Amino acid sequence: MATTTTLAKADEGVEPVAHAARIEHVSKSFAGPAGQQLVLDDITLDVAPGEFVTLLGASGCGKSTLLNLVAGLDEPTSGDITTDGRPALMFQEHALFPWLTAGKNIELALKLRGVPKAERREKAEELLGLVRLKGAHGKRVHELSGGMRQRVALARALAQESKLLLMDEPFAALDAITRDVLHDELTRIWRETQVSVLFVTHNVREAVRLAERVVLLSSRPGRVAREWTVGIPQPRRIEDTAVAELSVEITEELRGEIRRHGQH
C-alpha cells in the first residue's frame, strides 16, 4: 500500500529522533506505454542527523525520483518514508525569482516560515554572509554569476531551517573551477550548521569529495547496489590521491551496474 512521507518531530521529554530521513522498502512505479514501469525497487536507506550522504548512479536510475519522494513531492507506490521535519530542496536550476533581489528571494522563504517582517532583513543578511555573499542583498538575479545564484539558492534553502537538505545535482551546470569552490563552501556550511544532506549526483569524484557515505543505485529499476563509508578527512580536494583511488573503485562498480543493465 502506498504511503506518504511522515514528518517526525521530537517532542519535549521524548527521545530525540534517531534519523534525519528513513526510507524503508520503498518502490515506485510509473504508468508507461507498456504498462507500469518499475523505477525504484525496495530501497531501504537511513540518513543520520548531521550526516552527508551522496546518491550516485547512472542517468535514469531513479536518483531524482527518490529525492522527490523524500521531499514529499510525490508518493511511493509502496514503502514508508519518514523525515525529521520538512526537508529543504535545492535543484540544479537555482529557481530564484528574477523580479526579486537576492535578499528578497531569501526573505520570501523566511516569510513563508513565519519569521516576522522586522527580522527578515537581518536574517537574510546573515544567511548571505554565511554563503559569502555579504553585500549582495540588493543585487538582481541577472547581476549574479551562475555560482553566485547557486549560493543564493543555498542561502534560501538554509532559510527554511530544515534539519535535512536535499540537493539534486546543484552544481552540474557550473564550470569546473566554480564547482570546486562551491564544494568547499558547501562542506564548510554543512560543518557549521550540522544540517543533514542527501545529495544526488552522477559525478563519482564529486560524490567522494563531499560525502561521509556514498550510496550507489543500480540501473533501472534502482536498487541499493553498494555503499561506501568515506574515511578521508575533510577538507578534501577533488584531486587528492585518496579521493581519486576511491573514485576509481566506485567507477568500476558503476560500470559493472551499467553493463549488467545493458544485458537485460
Residues 6+ apart with CB under 8 A from 188: none
CA distances from 216 to 127, 141, 223, 240 (A): 32, 35, 8, 21
Cα separation, 196 vs 209, in Å, equals 16
Angle at 164 between CA 162 and CA 169, to 5 degrees: 115
Q: Are 54 and 201 in contact (CB under 8 A)?
A: yes
pLDDT digits (tens, 9 = 90+) for 99-121: 999 999 999 999 998 999 989 99
Residue-wise pLDDT tens digits, 33-58: 877 889 999 999 999 999 999 999 88
The predicted pLDDT at position 262 comes to 61
Set out the domains of the chain in order of their start, with CATH numbers: 14-87+162-262 (3.40.50.300), 97-161 (no CATH)
* pLDDT the model gives residue 36: 84
pLDDT of 9 reads 44
Whether omega for the bond prior to residue 116 falls within 30 degrees of 0, making it cis, is no
- What local confidence, expressed as pLDDT, does residue 4 receive? 47
- Asked if 96 and 156 touch (Cβ cutoff 8 Å), the reply is yes
- Mean pLDDT, contiguous 10-residue spans, the chain (264 residues): 48 61 95 84 96 91 93 94 93 85 94 91 94 93 92 94 94 90 94 95 94 93 94 91 96 87 56
The grid coordinates of residue 65 equal 525520483
192: exposed, middle or buried (C-beta count within 10 Å: 0-12, 13-18, 19+)? exposed
7 CB-near residues (< 8 Å, 6+ apart)? 82, 83, 84, 85, 86
Q: Report the SS3 class of residue 226.
A: strand
Q: What is the pLDDT of residue 258?
A: 80
What is the pTM for the complete model shown? 0.89
